[in-house]
Amino acid sequence: MRVTGNSLGRKLGLAGLACAVVLLASAPARAEVSSETAFIFNTFSFLVSGFLVMWMAAGFAMLESGLVRTKNTATICLKNIALYSVAGIMYYVIGYHLMYTDVGSYIGTFGIFYNAGDAETALIAAGGDATPEQLAAVVDNGYSVMSDWFFQMVFVATAASIVSGTLAERIKFWPFMIFVVVLTGFLYPIQGSWTWGGGWLTEMGFSDFAGSTIVHSVGGWAALVGAVILGPRKGKFGADGSVHPMPGANLPLATLGTFVLWLGWFGFNGGSQLALGSAADAANMAIVYVNTNLAACGGVVAAIILTQLIYKKIDLTMSLNGAIAGLVAITAGPDLQHHGLAIVIGGIGGALVVFAVPLIDKLKIDDVVGAVSAHLVAGIWGTLAVGIFGGGDLVTQIVGIVAIGAFMIITSAIVWYVLKLTVGLRVDEEAEEMGLDKAELGMEAYPEFGHGSQSL
Amino acid sequence: MRVTGNSLGRKLGLAGLACAVVLLASAPARAEVSSETAFIFNTFSFLVSGFLVMWMAAGFAMLESGLVRTKNTATICLKNIALYSVAGIMYYVIGYHLMYTDVGSYIGTFGIFYNAGDAETALIAAGGDATPEQLAAVVDNGYSVMSDWFFQMVFVATAASIVSGTLAERIKFWPFMIFVVVLTGFLYPIQGSWTWGGGWLTEMGFSDFAGSTIVHSVGGWAALVGAVILGPRKGKFGADGSVHPMPGANLPLATLGTFVLWLGWFGFNGGSQLALGSAADAANMAIVYVNTNLAACGGVVAAIILTQLIYKKIDLTMSLNGAIAGLVAITAGPDLQHHGLAIVIGGIGGALVVFAVPLIDKLKIDDVVGAVSAHLVAGIWGTLAVGIFGGGDLVTQIVGIVAIGAFMIITSAIVWYVLKLTVGLRVDEEAEEMGLDKAELGMEAYPEFGHGSQSL
Amino acid sequence: MRVTGNSLGRKLGLAGLACAVVLLASAPARAEVSSETAFIFNTFSFLVSGFLVMWMAAGFAMLESGLVRTKNTATICLKNIALYSVAGIMYYVIGYHLMYTDVGSYIGTFGIFYNAGDAETALIAAGGDATPEQLAAVVDNGYSVMSDWFFQMVFVATAASIVSGTLAERIKFWPFMIFVVVLTGFLYPIQGSWTWGGGWLTEMGFSDFAGSTIVHSVGGWAALVGAVILGPRKGKFGADGSVHPMPGANLPLATLGTFVLWLGWFGFNGGSQLALGSAADAANMAIVYVNTNLAACGGVVAAIILTQLIYKKIDLTMSLNGAIAGLVAITAGPDLQHHGLAIVIGGIGGALVVFAVPLIDKLKIDDVVGAVSAHLVAGIWGTLAVGIFGGGDLVTQIVGIVAIGAFMIITSAIVWYVLKLTVGLRVDEEAEEMGLDKAELGMEAYPEFGHGSQSL
């Protein structure tokens, strides 16, 4: 049997756990994991994996800070810390319920807030006086309620982080934040409920272990639709079809951001095992770590070789996006057990970026950091790869990709358009010229560094 | 029941553990955590949480590097790595004993060095030949001795890190380091013993889960007193009451530093549960993670909205300090179980920063990075909040705040004055003008980057 | 029984585990760690420690980015992410087998690829239907196969990272990458098999807990030999014996890189305990964490004091290398139990850097970032220290150092020479003058920052 995503992975974990308990009862001489021990492992795994994924917010912030121009750097820093904050609050206030509570086929409930529940509260309050029944009421859940919430919350923040980079250097701060509110409170959770909440896509057998489609393509679609509606930066595309390069201002920061994302991805994919309370869970998590790492390696190597062959110069930015694309591509199926396949899947992800970036430029869509290529294109590829290499049904995979894509295109187009027609999406030309840092924030990211020849 | 700090939290953990052992003895059919398993969980939790808090040293280094001017950047980097190093050695040589060994009401013992103890040494030496008694002698402690030391050590380093930012750009390196020696070897441990060592404040019921007062306000008081005695940077305050802005040179680094602190805070607060060996501990740790995160979210959002409303421009630096203030504010009571409250407490922390920073400017106290506002003001608020929202007695909370504040004001004033009157605290005017990097280190942080218009 | 691993530590771990199982069988009333629980702890320790060591790749990238000049910064970023990627693939394709599979005295087998094995695959596939026999077949190994692979893989990447800094600013990208292929696929694994694979050095009693010699000196030798063959940067050494300083362009990044390495080292040394499944393992891991930290503290303090005394100015770069040297020095014996000794060993490591850096300059060997001093010199010192302070036989330690040194000098000299005589190692003078970023990558790391007075 193969785990097919967050929700089935969860079932496997709980099944393994139940199994352990039964074995222990029937065969006391064997050395099994107790249910409370499994509960602690599962909970701690969510917390450790969760803080790794939280760290990805810093990765996006550094990647985007490094890839925008200095005049927009402070603004992109602000957007990144703001979107992470808003995502956390929105997912707490409304999102988690929509995604995970009493999900029907298409949506969960409209409850607000979320908490550890009576059983855990009672156990904690009882302290040393807790009864076996109080303990069992908690332990039977398999993991602590809020550790799961924490882990899921950092995922929604990741989806939002993807959007900020693409739309950098010309979108207004407040409309962007309103979009984040809608995305993290509603759009992401609703489509997420279809698969990880146990809705219609799970019933159909759609398999997306850690979210190539559910997280990365969702962020990618929102970014792509936003970029089309927002339009390119002034001067990016010439009337003659030429593309004016606007190189990132601080490539070591972009490199750092990529390493941060890579590190965080061990939590993203590894934690999506959703359990650590049995030997099978631990062994599978190790496999996930290895595949995650090797896919990123493949993405980097593919991008380096291809840019050397095509352009005769290696492109650092493309190589960084190659790593990310490799990671995105393996995310739908990091539990596949042939690691050579992980290198191939990641390598194809990295290659796709090398071709997608100029293609998107040719379409006159201005994606400042290449996020659409790395997250959407590679995300689709990774989800298809699960179908191609035997981890799921290819047609079902396509249904999932198309359904979620259609939902995101339509809903995010509506939100972007409403924002455009009401408060407006774009800073005025003068502000764009001057840079968003001075125009919207009244500050400079690097006030003391003189301006070189490429400064714009 | 509510845990009221590192030391009571510890008791809860051990109680849970004892409970587990008893239950296991009396009811062998139930699936409990064995005492050795709990020992490993508790120890590993200290190590993982400890490395996260160690990482905060890097966060402070980046935050402060980003918020000083280029001519003082290398010096602040040096101070940050030096203070972390000195803090570790001083806490090893003397501090830990003062804080945790045979604490009476007001101070521990004056032993030097610290080690794993005979029981652990014997167990490790015995290897596979260890007797059940040797194992029990170790396991009965609940956690490994040095894992606790490691976790406590990174806390003292945090307190010291707070000081360096406020006093940047004009304090001499060596007097600053002498202050760090006294702070980390004596001042911090002595006041720490009152609560976490089990001294008079614990007896009175003072509640500070992870150190809003014991760590953050302590660092904040030391910084504030130092800033008053040291005086402002040349040119910071005009004779006419004007405040001359001296903007930070590298805001992406400051943003990175804030994200690092945020990440590290999961260890800071989560690890202060002091145990992971029972379901109750794990569940409570998850609650702590969630509240820590949501409080920071609240701090960011409050600072963004307030700076938009008050100044019509969002201030990135203020937003970063909003995150930190939110984190500081929740640190006294992150185990409160209504997460909405965490958003409120953090949000008020963030709001306080927005008002405290200009107020401190008005008092002509020059706090280069805003640490007094973020750590002292928000730390007091967070400690009061525990009393206000039912996690402790408000009067007792005030007693703790005042007692620790008075102790820190008096002792750090003495140390700063003695340093001022002997070796001198401040670089001379020429050195301050030239920058500490050239004057004290003979180097530049960014030797190749030209100087822009705001360069000073 | 499988792999002998980081060897003595591993044996201790498995012994503890076996002990636990035996005790449990004979004394069911005692509260032991079950074998499956131990399996999960051991596996999770590898994963957590492994992601920390992976993070060191980012540390090297930032350290080196900060210490080269701006015109070579993008290239060093590229090399760092590329070498980590290639190391992972090569260790997967060939290296791990050479180091750990059926090792004779001098080398393992020539198998390709590596995977979790039939037992784990079967257990995972069985899910809730797994039989006790299936579980036992996995659990008896003590840890999951791929978690060990992951942990060992990040070590080989560390060895490769050491090389890139020394040779920066004049080596061509592709020949460097070919060297990395050979180093990570063959040289590192072959010499690693002698000790950690259970070969002749282990039989002789050579002791290197986490790789002062096996990882750090190996990287250092490869770098030193490369630097000699490659020659110094143009203008570095005057005909009159003068040394022209070429200061690093971004010292906050170098500081960040050092903190990242420090953090990662907790995984490097702590994870080399190779087990967490018993109280003894956990206690020893805590001791390792503390010694690792204190040695780095000692290295920083020694470098600060010495540069103050010798040069009358503290050198930030030297202090950062002092931290690294302290960490390298303790790596061979971080399980020694007197923590004061760790400060001394680390302090001597830091002091050695202060003397080694000018000495290597005097020899007209151009080590751009000081990696030979920090990794090779301190690595030798740390390995000797184990013999001096009672953790092993001094003569045997010397034999290990010399044997591995001789192997690395000879083999890496051959590889570097072959590369020099075939594809060439060095960019041409014009490219070196212009900077590798423009010459090899066609881009700039900081395109907008103007060039200051020290710009070259």
Measure in Å the smallest separation between the Cα of C446 and chain B Cα atoms.
9
Q: Taking 60 as the threshold, does the pLDDT of residue A224 lie above it?
A: yes
Q: Cβ contact (<8 Å) for A259 and C74? A: no
Mean pLDDT of B360-382: 98
Rounded Cα–Cα distance for residues A294 and A299 (Å): 9
Measure in Å the smallest separation between the Cα of A438 and chain C Cα atoms.
17
Among A10, A56, A258, A262, the strongest candidate for a mutation testing the C interface, having the largest count of C CBs within 10 A, is: A262
Measure in Å the smallest separation between the Cα of C200 and chain B Cα atoms.
24
pLDDT, tens only, A313-347: 999 999 999 999 999 999 999 998 799 999 999 99
Rounded Cα–Cα distance for residues A130 and B19 (Å): 8
Measure in Å the smallest separation between the Cα of A129 and chain B Cα atoms.
8
Cross-chain CB nearest to A283 (options C35, C54, C144) = C144
Q: Which residues of A touch C156 (CB under 8 A)?
A: none
Q: Which residues of B touch C323 (CB under 8 A)?
A: 81, 85
Q: Cβ contact (<8 Å) for B337 and A116? A: yes
State the DSSP string of B163-192: HHHHTTTTB-HHHHHHHHHHIIIIIHHHHH
| Closest CA relative to residue A69, chosen from A316, A320, A245 | A245
Q: Which residues of B touch C63 (CB under 8 A)?
A: none
Q: Is A165:A67 a contact under the CB 8 Å cutoff?
A: yes
Mean pLDDT of B228-239: 96
Q: Cβ contact (<8 Å) for C446 and A256? A: no
Mean pLDDT of B171-198: 98
Q: Taking 60 as the threshold, does the pLDDT of residue B29 lie above it?
A: no
Q: Cβ contact (<8 Å) for A444 and B247? A: yes
Cross-chain CB nearest to C283 (options B37, B51, B123) = B123
Rounded Cα–Cα distance for residues B95 and B103 (Å): 12
Tell me the count of A-B CB pairs closer than 8 A: 249
Band (A32; pLDDT cuts 50, 70, 90): confident
Cross-chain CB nearest to C31 (options B35, B80, B441) = B35
Q: Indicate the residue type of B420.
A: K
Q: Which chains touch C (3 or more CB pairs under 8 A)?
A: A, B
Q: Is B5:B196 a contact under the CB 8 Å cutoff?
A: yes
Query: Best-predicted range by mean pLDDT among A123-127, B100-104, C269-273?
Result: C269-273
Q: Taking 90 as the threshold, does the pLDDT of residue C388 lie above it?
A: yes
Q: Cβ contact (<8 Å) for C146 and A286? A: yes
Cross-chain CB nearest to A139 (options B259, B279, B337) = B279
pLDDT, tens only, A125-179: 998 899 999 999 999 999 999 999 999 999 999 999 999 999 999 999 999 999 9
Burial class of B413 by CB neighbour count within 10 A (0 to 12, 13 to 18, 19+): middle
**pLDDT confidence of residue B321:** 98
Among A35, A46, A65, A77, the strongest candidate for a mutation testing the B interface, having the largest count of B CBs within 10 A, is: A77
Mean pLDDT of B133-159: 97
Measure in Å the smallest separation between the Cα of A391 and chain B Cα atoms.
33
C-beta pairs of A399-404 under 8 Å, 24+ apart in sequence? A399/A201, A399/A204, A399/A206, A400/A195, A400/A201, A400/A204, A400/A206, A400/A208, A400/A213, A401/A213, A401/A217, A403/A194, A403/A201, A404/A191, A404/A194, A404/A201, A404/A213, A404/A214, A404/A217, A404/A218, A404/A221
Measure in Å the smallest separation between the Cα of C334 and chain B Cα atoms.
13
Q: Cβ contact (<8 Å) for A40 and B456? A: no
Q: Which residues of C touch B146 (CB under 8 A)?
A: 283, 286-287, 289-290
**pLDDT confidence of residue C16:** 34
Q: Which chains touch A (3 or more CB pairs under 8 A)?
A: B, C
Q: Cβ contact (<8 Å) for C89 and A343? A: yes
Q: Can you state the percent helix, strand and coil of chain B, rounding each to 5?
A: 70, 0, 25
Q: Cβ contact (<8 Å) for C441 and A280? A: no
Cross-chain CB nearest to A113 (options B263, B311, B340) = B340
Among C34, C256, C318, C444, the strongest candidate for a mutation testing the B interface, having the largest count of B CBs within 10 A, is: C256
**pLDDT confidence of residue B32:** 76
| Closest CA relative to residue B290, chosen from B265, B259, B324 | B265
Measure in Å the smallest separation between the Cα of C78 and chain B Cα atoms.
21
**pLDDT confidence of residue B9:** 34
**pLDDT confidence of residue C451:** 62
Q: Is C169:C429 a contact under the CB 8 Å cutoff?
A: no
pLDDT, tens only, C165-174: 999 999 999 9
Q: Is C223:C410 a contact under the CB 8 Å cutoff?
A: no
Cross-chain CB nearest to C62 (options A248, A256, A290) = A256
Q: What is the three-class DSSP state of A219? A: helix
Q: Which residues of A touch B256 (CB under 8 A)?
A: 58, 61-62, 253, 256
Q: Which residues of B touch A150 (CB under 8 A)?
A: 286, 289-290, 293
**pLDDT confidence of residue B150:** 98
Rounded Cα–Cα distance for residues C279 and C32 (Å): 10
Rounded Cα–Cα distance for residues C381 and A363 (Å): 60
Q: Cβ contact (<8 Å) for A85 and B30? A: no
CA C76 to mean position of chain CA atoms: 18
Measure in Å the smallest separation between the Cα of C114 and chain B Cα atoms.
29
Mean pLDDT of chain C: 92
Among B41, B45, B284, B316, the strongest candidate for a mutation testing the A interface, having the largest count of A CBs within 10 A, is: B316
**Which residues 6+ apart lie within 8 Å of B390 measured at CB?**
none
Q: Is A16:A242 a contact under the CB 8 Å cutoff?
A: no
Question: Of all residues in chain B, what percent carry a pLDDT higher than 90?
Answer: 88
Q: Cβ contact (<8 Å) for C81 and A320? A: yes
**Which pair of structure tokens corresponds to residue B111?**
């032993």
**pLDDT confidence of residue A10:** 37
Q: Which chains touch B (3 or more CB pairs under 8 A)?
A: A, C
State the DSSP string of A234-299: TTSB-TTS-B-----S-HHHHHHHHHHHHHHHHHHHHGGG---SSHHHHHHHHHHHHHHHHHHHHH
Measure in Å the smallest separation between the Cα of C269 and chain B Cα atoms.
13
Q: Closest residue of C to B445, CA-based?
A: C251
Rounded Cα–Cα distance for residues A117 and C142 (Å): 36
ipTM metric = 0.93
CA A330 to mean position of chain CA atoms: 12
Band (A111; pLDDT cuts 50, 70, 90): confident
**pLDDT confidence of residue C31:** 52
pLDDT, tens only, C322-353: 999 999 999 999 998 899 999 999 999 999 99
Rounded Cα–Cα distance for residues B304 and C243 (Å): 51
Q: Which residues of A touch B255 (CB under 8 A)?
A: 61, 65, 77, 80-81
pLDDT, tens only, C231-241: 999 999 999 98
Band (C317; pLDDT cuts 50, 70, 90): very high
Mean pLDDT of chain A: 92
Rounded Cα–Cα distance for residues C57 and B394 (Å): 48
Measure in Å the smallest separation between the Cα of B130 and chain C Cα atoms.
8
Measure in Å the smallest separation between the Cα of B428 and chain C Cα atoms.
16
Rounded Cα–Cα distance for residues A441 and A263 (Å): 31
Cross-chain CB nearest to C124 (options A41, A283, A301) = A283
Global pTM reads 0.94
Band (C455; pLDDT cuts 50, 70, 90): very low
Q: Cβ contact (<8 Å) for C46 and A255? A: no
Mean pLDDT of A425-438: 96
Q: Please name the residue that has the structure tokens 């490395």.
A: B51
Rounded Cα–Cα distance for residues C112 and C117 (Å): 14
Please state which of the ranges B23-32, B250-259, B382-391 shows the lowest mean pLDDT.
B23-32
Q: Closest residue of B to A147, CA-based?
A: B286
Rounded Cα–Cα distance for residues B155 and B95 (Å): 12
